[in-house]
Amino acid sequence: MAHKKGAGSSKNGRESHSKRLGIKIFGGQDAIAGNIIVRQRGTKHHPDKNVGLGKDHTIFAMIDGTVVFKKKADNKSYVSVLPFTQAETVEVEPVEKKEVKAAAVKKETKATVAKKVTKAEAPAAE
């Protein structure tokens, strides 16, 4: 009997690559138009307001807004994108930063801390 296999093909090597399915943008997160929200096989999640359905059942945002997942009376999951409101997009003015000079920042030694403590206690003793 032969102890080596013949020059035939191996029996392994038929594993397919993962398809990276699932929810890409979760409920409450912001999406911009064109963002993929869900990659799926079949319609586990159904499209609702302001989303589109691709030919491979991918759900994508059609407008900028916040992603919402909900179940309706038929107990099916529906995905919507609610547009941003004007109140949420109010721009905040940047706060001015104080300049910190390297010379002004110095390490405190035990002696300088002791001097500060005695100076703070001195007026209180009067």
Is residue 36 within 8 A of residue 58, CB to CB? The reply is yes
Q: 59-61 and 36-39: which strand pairing? A: antiparallel
15 or 119: which leads in pLDDT: 15
How far is the CA of 46 from the CAs of 58, 75, 100, 116, 123, in angstroms? 10, 11, 55, 68, 74
DSSP state of 86: T
Confidence of residue 14 (pLDDT cuts 50, 70, 90): confident
| Percent with pLDDT over 70 in the chain | 62
In degrees rounded to 5, what are phi and psi of residue 117? -65, -45
Residue 87 — very low, low, confident or very high, per pLDDT cuts 50/70/90?
Answer: very low
